[in-house]
Amino acid sequence: MKQQRLMRGMTQQDLADKCAEAGVHVDESHISRIERGIYTPRPKLRALLAELLELDVSDFGHVMQPDAMSGSAA
C-alpha cells in the first residue's frame, strides 16, 4: 500500500484527505498503522483504499487486534 501511495506522489495526509472526500473519515496516523500492518481496515475503508491506490482488497492482510488475542476464560 505504501509503495502504491508513494508512486502516486501522495503523502499519508493526502490519502486521508481523499478518503474524507469520499465520505470515509480516517486520519494520517490510521493510514500509517495500516501501512505498517498493525491494523487491518474495515471493509468500507479497505475497498476505498483499494480503489484509490488501484490495489486488490485482498492485498490488505488480516491482523489480529490486541483485544481479540487476549481471550478471557469466564
The reported pLDDT for the residue numbered 61 is: 61
- φ and ψ at 6, to 5 degrees? -65, -35
What local confidence, expressed as pLDDT, does residue 64 receive? 41
CA-nearest of 12, 51, 48 to 33 is: 12
Q: How far is it, in rounded angstroms, from Cα 40 to Cα 22?
A: 19
pLDDT at residue 14, as a whole number: 98
pTM summary value: 0.77
CA distance to 1, 37, 43, per residue, from 50 (Å) = 9, 15, 10
Let me know if domain 2-57 sits in CATH 1.10.260: yes
At 14-70, the pLDDT tens digits run 999 999 999 999 999 999 999 999 998 999 999 999 999 999 888 776 544 444 433
